Amino acid sequence: MPSLTPPASTSLTNPFTIKAAYSRSVSRLPSGIPVLDDFLQGGLPMGALTEWGMPLGHGTREILMPWLARLTQQQESNWLLWIHSQNNLEINPSAWAARGIDLEHLRFARTSAPLRDLKPIFLEPLFKFIVIDSPQDFSDEDCAFIARQARRLQQTTLLLRNNLLRPLSSTTPKQSSHIWARLRLNTWRQPHLAPTSAMAPYGGLWVETIRGLPHRRLLLPLNIEASL
């Protein structure tokens, strides 16, 4: 099992703090990048569904690589699964390995309908970390099922959206996974500002919390050669 960050002690006398305390009491999966883990109050929630808006093709998936590297390098054999749906794209394994990921414990699957084709995966506790990358065919019921199974089997499941998520409000149309994802985040790229900037030439990645943590933003400088 990955190392856990102990939950912060919180007084439960005030009903308004119960929700926050519940959120913090969830075991967290740290990325190993202190600034990011602090921002996420320990990391990603374990045994829960996290929804992450990150448009494909902007280098935003780089932010997930530390989690994958950390999990595959641990002595306990954590099995990881990355499900993607782009028919015109192929995995480039050497790039994943170069980011510190041990390919021995990582499996990939290509399908636009993960639950239709891979349902037994979500019924067994073998895979501890599952990334569902931009699924095309994913209903409300699918979200509910994935969130329930993640809780039951203590799987950390990430649902990556190919667009930025919007906060839930009365004016915006309801998005299916709003109520099922414990944590909702957005990530987008900050283009480089000037050739002399510290962020040139790769710029940085913005991380924004939408749900599950107080709303705020973090800018991570992106250095591809150092993975983050």
Partner 1 sequence: MGKIPEKSMTSLAKPAASSVPQGAWVALILPLPSSPSQDPASISDYGRALQAMSLTSKVMQWSADTWLLDLTPCLSYWCQESLPVVDTIRKRLKSLFGADWTAAWTDHPWRSVLLATYMKERSLSGLTVLPGPWGVSPLSTASKLAGDLSWETWWQCWEALGPHLEATRLGRSLLLRRQASLMKRATTRLGWRTPGQQSHLSASSLERRFGRPLGEAWRWTYGSPDIQQKPQGSEPSETKKHTNFWLGSSFPWRPYELAVLPSISRHLEHPLREWNHLSPWLLADLDRLCECPDFLPEERALLIEWHLVLEDVGENIKDKQIEIFFRYPHSLHQEKGVHKTTLLQALYAFEQHFKRDYDPTILPPVITGWSLTLKERILHPKQVTTLFGDQEVLAGSSPHLTRKTSQPLALTQLENRLAIPLRHFTLKDDWVAVDSFIETPQTDPSELQHQNSLLALGRLRPLFTYIQPFPCREDNNCYFLERTMTKWWSQPSRTSQKDFYRVVDSKSQRHLWATRDLQTGQWLAKGLFG
DSSP one-letter code for 11 = -
Least distance in angstroms from the C-beta of 68 to partner 1: 11
Q: Which is nearer to partner 1, 26 or 71 (CB)?
A: 71
Give the span between the Cα atoms of 135 and 137, in whole angstroms: 6
Contact 94, 118 (CB under 8 A): no
- In order of 59, 89, 91, 171, the CA distances from 94 in angstroms are 16, 15, 9, 45
3-state secondary structure of 186: strand
Q: Which is nearer to partner 1, 23 or 85 (CB)?
A: 85
Least distance in angstroms from the C-beta of 202 to partner 1: 8
Least distance in angstroms from the C-beta of 208 to partner 1: 18
Least distance in angstroms from the C-beta of 187 to partner 1: 11
- In order of 64, 201, 205, 221, the CA distances from 26 in angstroms are 20, 38, 26, 28
Contact 64, 158 (CB under 8 A): yes
Q: Which is nearer to partner 1, 108 or 145 (CB)?
A: 108
Binding site for partner 1 (CB under 8 A): 56-62, 77, 79, 81, 84, 86-99, 103-104, 107-111, 116-118, 120-121, 124, 126, 201, 224-225, 227
Least distance in angstroms from the C-beta of 191 to partner 1: 8
Q: Which is nearer to partner 1, 213 or 220 (CB)?
A: 220
Q: Which is nearer to partner 1, 15 or 195 (CB)?
A: 195
How many residues are recorded in the chain? 228
